[in-house]
Copies of this chain bind each other. A is one copy, B any other.
Amino acid sequence: MAREATIDSRQEILRTAARLFQQRGYDATSMNDVAAALKLSKGGLYHHFQSKDEILFDLMDHAMDITQERVIDAVRDVSDPEDRLRMLVRRHIAVVLSERDREITVMLHENHPLPPSLRRRINARKKQYVHFLERLVADVQIARGAKGSVSSRAATFALLGMINWIYQWYRPDAGSLHEEDIVRQYTEIFFAGAFQ
């Protein structure tokens, strides 16, 4: 079983499963399909993952790791709140557009049923990010002396919507809007809108 020996990490399984879920739909993809795409025996796959729920949870958890590393940790040391927020917008958009990762990170936003205990763990990580962003927006509102007609909470959800909705319309090949265009214009819209 030379092939099976090369699967030394769960990462390759997760990436293949994410691709199949996007192409065929989550529920239409069976554990057998995932094993076949990896040229693994079903036993070989079950050695790594007990169920499709476990794959889905690990995918979502990995998507949150990506967000943590490439967005939150990347901006944490920027001392000026406004610069920190500008970098967060840029970094978050980069994660959404990442060719390598979008099949994984998009899973965060699809409504597939997870067992409640696993759902709660993912939701807790999502909430952590929302709160991190909300505090940052509030800091920039204070720094800019915003008069407070837009709450940090509404502004945060608006920004997350603008960015996470990109999954729905962005096609890398169609190319009317490029990453730099999106970053610049979304930053302009948000900064003019949220800090009045």
Contact = CB atoms under 8 A, between A and B. Distances in A.
Interface of A: 22, 24-28, 106, 109-113, 130, 149-151, 153-155, 157-158, 160-166, 168-169, 176-177, 181-182, 185-186, 188-194, 196
Q: Chain A contact residues: over half helix, strand or loop, or mixed?
A: helix
Copies, count: 2
A169 B111 CA distance: 12
Contacts of A28: 27, 113
A189 B156 CA distance: 11
Which of A24, A162, A177 has the most B CB atoms < 10 Å from its CB?
A162
A189 B155 contact: yes
A129 to B, nearest CB: 12
Given A162-B162, A185-B150, A185-B151, A25 B25 contact: no
